[in-house]
Amino acid sequence: MSYAKKARVWGLALVAVFMFSSIAAANASAAEWLLNGSAISTAVPTTGSGTLRLTDTKGGAFGGSVTVECSGTTTGTAGPGKLDTTEKVTVSSCKTVEGVCESPAARAANLPWKTELVTEGGVARDKILSDGNGAPGYEVECGFFGVRATDTCTSETGKPLVEKNKSPVPIVFDEASGNANCSRGGSEQGHVRGTVKVSSSKGTLTVGP
């Protein structure tokens, strides 16, 4: 075999090794749901609780920003692997923290939601996906000077941060979690901030590795 052919063969071999190494590294760092430190083979029930701030930056009576802060609980599932679901959201209380929104109320839109762990920039995130009922999101009902109005904000790109190796598992809606399209404020004017902590009655739920 000529020197040129040998060099070409070695070059292809090195490329193959690099590709397989990259795939192995990606798989090794993939986030997944764990129960008592082990992989989940069958989906387990989950519950969550927390407080979130729901904002429409142009959703006010005169186009101003409106933010309501709501507390509540969730039920769903986690596993197997990277998969999870949100099946029910119960809002217990809401208050207005910015803008005009008299006697606010909120509820989840287009449940249930499919959710899926992904790794981006070295951190785990939980992509919130439609389960065939429309884009996931939330509806906020406000009073504006005695008239009730509903603002619906939805998104197909929501992806809150998931803190690994903690139980209950913190699901953190931060600035990188994505924006929503709102019926009052318009495209990309809605966002969520806050944390929901998720656990399971079946054992210690975490996200690893």
Per-residue model confidence as pLDDT tens for the chain (209 residues):
554 444 454 444 433 433 433 333 444 469 999 999 999 999 999 999 999 999 999 999 889 999 999 999 999 999 999 999 999 999 999 999 999 999 999 999 999 999 999 999 999 999 999 999 999 999 999 998 889 999 999 999 999 999 999 999 999 999 999 999 999 999 999 999 999 999 999 999 999 99
Q: Which of 16, 75, 80 is nearest to 42 (CA)?
A: 80
Cα 183 to chain centroid distance, Å, stands at 21
Rounded to whole angstroms, how far apart are CA atoms 130 and 80? 18
The pLDDT score that the predictor gives to residue 145 is: 85
Rounded to whole angstroms, how far apart are CA atoms 29 and 38? 15
SS3 45: strand
Q: Which of 194, 199, 193 is nearest to 166 (CA)?
A: 199
Contact predicate 136/155, CB 8 Å: yes
Q: Which of 94, 51, 50, 64 is nearest to 189 (CA)?
A: 64
- Within 10 angstroms of residue 149's Cβ, the number of other Cβ atoms is 14
